[in-house]
Amino acid sequence: MKTCANLSLLFPEAGGLLERIDAAGKAGFTAVEVQFPYDDPANDILSRLAKYDMQLITMNCPPPNYTGGERGWAAVPALQDRFRRDFPRALRFAKALGVTRMHIMSGSAEGAEARQTYVENLRWAAEQAPHMSLLIEPINQTSMPGYFLSDFDEAVRILDEVAAPNLSLLFDSFHAAMMEGDIVKVWDRVGHRVTHVQIGGAPHRHEPENHEAFFDRLRADGYGGYVSGEYNPSGLTTDGLSWVKAAT
């Protein structure tokens, strides 16, 4: 397995995104992800990544950052036109940065119409970006009340209905633990649809403690993708990176 640092949460002591890339590079990471990298010029990001021979592998869409606003809108019926305007913008930015994975956020919605909108938008997005690995991620209702996709089994059903070869599941151990408790049991049900893993400790989303059994299961199942730390450090980021050795 390969490890990755989510720079939207890790290395907050370093400052902004460019400074966090520096900190991650010095800590030995060669891959990072950013939830919403749209605020910095792509060339500046690429230049800083190149300094450490580092790759930005994953980002969220649509832009911009959801601070104070909607947390995506792929499942929001009234915003379908907006999703289809903004997705190409996100795709262009991802291509400029060399990003190979993009997480499509469902947004806050509920009901049959929202589900149908989500399926239609995911199928459309997959057709627009056949060479991009697109991801959907169940997010727990405590962290994001009202978020449409908050169930792993429903996520698999949606993947089956969309039936796009470039659409798969993002498995976040923090959200799995918040929803069901035992992350290994959740993985046993849905791991065959997962192409990207994020980790964090529940319930406070700090360092991912007690993940050894989960890492063992990933290895046993032959998972060869990235394991990304996406959590809020309880102190200095570098003091809480024991999971990196455990995951490799």
Active-site residue numbers?
137, 230
CA neighbours closer than 13 Å in the CB half-sphere of residue 185: 5
* Composition of the chain by helix, strand, coil, percent to 5: 45, 20, 35
For residues 105 and 62, is the Cβ–Cβ distance under 8 A?
yes
- 215, 246 contact by CB (below 8 A): yes
Helix axes 112-128, 80-97, angle to 10 degrees: 40
Which residue is it, tokens 């990001």?
45
